[in-house]
Structure 1
Amino acid sequence: MSDTIQAAPAPREHMATSDAEAALKGQKADEGYELFQEANPEAFTPEQGEAVRRKIDLHLLPLMCFLYGLNYVDKVAMGWAVLFNFRGDLGLVGTEYSWASSTFYFGYLASQPFANYILQRYKTAKILSWSVICWGVLMLGHLGLKNFAGLMVIRFLLGVAESVVTPGFVMYTSMFYTRREQVMRTMLWAAMQGLFSIVSSLLSFGLGHITNTALKPWMYIFLVLGLLSVICGFLWLFFMPETPNKAKFLSHEEQVIAVQRVASNMMGIKGYEWKGYQVWHAVRDPKTWFILSFVLFTQLPNGGLTSFGSLVISGFGFDAFKTLLIGLPSSVVSAGSMVVWGFFSLKYGNLRTLGMTVPLLPAIAGIAAVYATQNTGANKYGRVFAYWLINSYAVTWPFVLTIVGQNVAGHTKRAVTNTMLLVIFGAANIAGPFLFRDQDAPKYVLAITTILVFFCIALLSGILLRVYMVVENKRRDRRYGPVDNLEEKLDGMRLGMHDKTDLENPDFRYVL
């Protein structure tokens, strides 16, 4: 199918509206296509579009941010619990804590194909709702743990429950926002990782002082986070709409505008058909492999730093409570970087690949400084400042998600790309903790050196991705002509609303 479209002679002659509709007759259209047909995209003013966008923001963003923040702190909560005798109470020895950290990602990795399939075929909002309820129950299940075996089971199931969240959020954001708007919204909900990490670190600091009760201090961490997760899941179940055309908080006219806004992405809204040929489109797309390389070499460090970051800081010479407090600015760097980069992307546009690469520079500088000051007697607070800089790499992950959400068209193709991306994400986070070997504690020189090399390789992958998309956009302009009038855009929007991939749609241009 893609070969037929891409083989069109240059210069491209766009079909008339009736011809374009006839060519797509009999093919299944996306959710909201009837509303798309009701009005021309120019039938509403920019002011009306902004008013609808504000209503969508007000209704969706608070719960999206709350859920994604909980998603992050729930899976890293064990990194705080370990500071309050979690390992001792469960009798963990040797590499058992590393295996427990990695087991979450075994469940996450194993369930990715199924997770992306059901997100493609069924209602995204409902799947996310039941997912967060399930993982909230599993967080509460930590309170009954007695040994390593029980911990492994809980962590594996937690990975399964959380496997739908990131691909689901990429999909859900793309259903309601234009490509330009998605960057800032993705940065906002992704920034909740840092914000919730700060709040949860302070919460853990307070809970760690609770003694002489039936529950051990680390149990309160899982109790509070588990209850919040269950509550969040039920809020999603009852208040979050599935697609713009079914958003009850919008009037019919506003629903039409909401659909027209998203149709301009040329990526459709939501389709439920699984298209086998789009699997091949995902595999043969060079973008896929540049993205996978980038994810591999940023998430290998992430897997280790998430589980062992507190122990690395304590290795500088701090006790448990000071380690928790000193680790907070790392989360400030993470959350702050996401908001700042999201603002610049919203204002200037086309900063997505720059957002993947530029934040790696302070991370590389920070990890290099930590490495260079090993055994030098350097001031430990200076080393802590360098360590804080490392967390600037965290902003690259939501930018990767925006690249997939905005540059991979075709619902099945995007699901397959997300599957491959998150399998690499899971595998890298499984392997990451094992960079931090017990015999290297507390300085972990080998891990720090390896992370430095990996960040440099990731930087190169991000640069190559940007170069490829620039070259491809220029090639399409030469072959098909620029997409600079409404008729051409409408053709691309119709193709998008009929679930055509970016390789099939000659009007599609990559955003950088």
Structure 2
Amino acid sequence: MDSTSLHSSSKQHGYEHRETPQEGKDRLDMSQVSSEEERELRWIFDRNLILPLAFMYLCNALDKGNVGNAKTDGWDKDIGLTGNQYYLLVMIFYVPFCLFGTPISLFVKRYSAARVLPVMMFGFGSMSLLAGAAKSFSQIFAIRFFLGIFESAMLPGVVFYLSTFYKRNELASRVGVFYAASSISGAFSGLIAYGVFHIHSSKYHSWQFLFWIEGAGTIIFATFAWFWLPKSSSTWKRLSPRQKAVADARMLADSSVEVNSKLNISDAFRPFKDPMYWVWALISLSFGVPLASVNNFLPQIVASLGYSTVRTNLFTVAPNIVGTVSLLLLTFSSDYFRERSIHICIALATAIIGFVVLGSIDVFLSRIECKRPADEDQAFAPSVLVSAWYSNNTPSESRRAVVAAVMVALANSSGLISTNVFRAKDEPKYVLALATSAAFGGLCLLLVASTGLYMRLENRRRNRLQNVNITAADVETEALALGPKSPSFRYMY
């Protein structure tokens, strides 16, 4: 194939410009945009989007995982839970969490994450308030079910939302900062629980104050987010007309085929005709098991060391901080090198080692101040990097919204596996559960390494057939209306 049939952003390749979906519109070309303008615009996005979204996800993670902290204060005994009922409560959350993520994400695309996510946030904050007043298994069961609905679209909605503001080599680090709120929520939840469990009341349990404080904070911030977050860069009043044009040019150069496109439901599900997306589905499913294990059971694992309720929650802080720092280092490195698969493998390998250590070393490790779960928090990094990986290779906005929702739902469905292998009869060591988490991490490592290798070989094959030498960075995403079938498409691996 002659190289002039390709469309590339690198003028040195001399490719002929092909007509694209945005052709004929009065818009900027990236050659007309200075690096200073881009840097200033990124800073505006970072300051006004990332910090609020990160706090939203912090509230999300706190409200989702506070039952783990409450259980260390005797919450399960106070409301009369018996046998495996606690594990059923953890499990039921994942059923609506998986089922409702995709349909709600379609609303995110249609009405903007800036409107849908604050509504969802108000909902899961309300569920936390109700959990503080619940007195029976059936009441908590219903609350956890609705909590799953309200929280289902948070992660895919934010990943899609950020992909409409940031270029492909900027996305992982921004999602990483956002997702760090989930990772560090383990530290915050431990600190909050540490403080709250010092509250003594003759009328209320300490764990009730935990639910009420976290729920009220969530509702207050949801109201703020509704008025603060912009629906899109083109409608954002804080941006000048020039900045809006620069924002559109950035997306067409290195993110999307078309900006602010209308939702096309029939086209949105088209990527799943490509076998590559089924591979990503298996990857998402496999890394979800260790991720769910960390989210739901770290306080119980730490509690197995025999410390008091207050010290148990305090000792979950350091491992989560270590995991957060590691997450940020990996995601910023991944964006800098425009590489995903190797970085994911590094995180997975570290997480696997952490689970193996947890499952094989006895309680004597309590003498080293509970640092043994630290490596386990590497389970967070694959979630961010895999989300960036399939989003980077899906240039259509409608398709990207659905792909993110389906993949996150599959990852979350792994919570059903995790909660069924963390059994009451295996307390306190959970050897079977930790071994299962390590096994799924190993499967994910194999899938990621194989997929990364395939993408590299496929890019080389396309270059060889077309007699060119280009990468994903050299091709404007505006020219990729056909996705991987576009002649100039190159995988971002």
Any unmatched runs of 5+ in structure 1?
Answer: 1-8
Contact 1:210 1:217 in 2 (8 A): yes
Contact 1:143 1:222 in 2 (8 A): yes
CA distance in 2, matches of 1:112, 1:313: 31
**Over residues 289-326 of structure 1, what are the superposed CA-to-partner deviations in whole Å (9 max), with x where a residue is unaligned?**
23222222221233233322222222122222221122
* 2:373 is aligned with 1:392: no
**TM-score where L is the length of structure 1:** 0.88
What pairs up with 1:228-377 in 2 under 5 angstroms? Answer: 228-267=217-256, 268-280=258-270, 282-346=271-335, 348-374=336-362
**TM-score where L is the length of structure 2:** 0.91
Quote the offset at 1:18 in angstroms.
11
**Over residues 332-365 of structure 1, what are the superposed CA-to-partner deviations in whole Å (9 max), with x where a residue is unaligned?**
122111111133234x322322221101222222
Query: What residue is the counterpart of 1:3 in the other structure?
Result: none
Quote the offset at 1:213 in angstroms.
4.6
Quote the offset at 1:159 in angstroms.
0.8
CA distance in 1, matches of 2:469, 2:226: 40
Of 295-304 and 94-103, more deviation after overlay is shown by: 295-304
Contact 1:12 1:480 in 2 (8 A): no
Query: What residue is the counterpart of 2:208 in the other structure?
Result: 219
* 2:143 is aligned with 1:157: no
What pairs up with 1:107-256 in 2 under 5 angstroms? Answer: 107-256=96-245
1:143/1:266 Cα in 2 relative to 1: closer, same or farther (>3 Å)? closer
Aligned structure 1 segments of 4 or more residues deviating by more than 6 angstroms = 15-19
CA distance in 1, matches of 2:160, 2:429: 41
In the alignment, residue 443 of structure 2 is paired with which amino acid? Answer: I
Query: What residue is the counterpart of 1:6 in the other structure?
Result: none
Contact 1:304 1:434 in 2 (8 A): no
Quote the offset at 1:191 in angstroms.
0.8
**Over residues 451-470 of structure 1, what are the superposed CA-to-partner deviations in whole Å (9 max), with x where a residue is unaligned?**
22222111111111211221
Match 2:26 to one of 37, 42, 45:
37
Query: What residue is the counterpart of 1:503 in the other structure?
Result: 484
SS of 1:359's partner is: helix
Aligned Cα RMSD in Å?
Answer: 2.5
CA distance in 2, matches of 1:98, 1:326: 22
Query: What residue is the counterpart of 1:444 in the other structure?
Result: 430
CA distance in 1, matches of 2:162, 2:399: 17
In the alignment, residue 288 of structure 2 is paired with which amino acid? Answer: Q
Query: What residue is the counterpart of 2:11 in the other structure?
Result: none
What pairs up with 1:39-78 in 2 under 5 angstroms? Answer: 39-78=28-67
CA distance in 2, matches of 1:91, 1:353: 46
Size of the alignment, in residue pairs? Answer: 484
In the alignment, residue 269 of structure 1 is paired with which amino acid? Answer: V
Contact 1:304 1:435 in 2 (8 A): no
1:507/1:417 Cα in 2 relative to 1: closer, same or farther (>3 Å)? same
In the alignment, residue 401 of structure 2 is paired with which amino acid? Answer: A
1:478/1:247 Cα in 2 relative to 1: closer, same or farther (>3 Å)? farther
Percent identity between the two aligned chains: 23
**Over residues 261-315 of structure 1, what are the superposed CA-to-partner deviations in whole Å (9 max), with x where a residue is unaligned?**
12112423332231524524x2232332232222222212332333222222221
Contact 2:167 2:250 in 1 (8 A): yes
1:278/1:311 Cα in 2 relative to 1: closer, same or farther (>3 Å)? closer
Contact 1:128 1:168 in 2 (8 A): yes
CA distance in 2, matches of 1:479, 1:232: 54
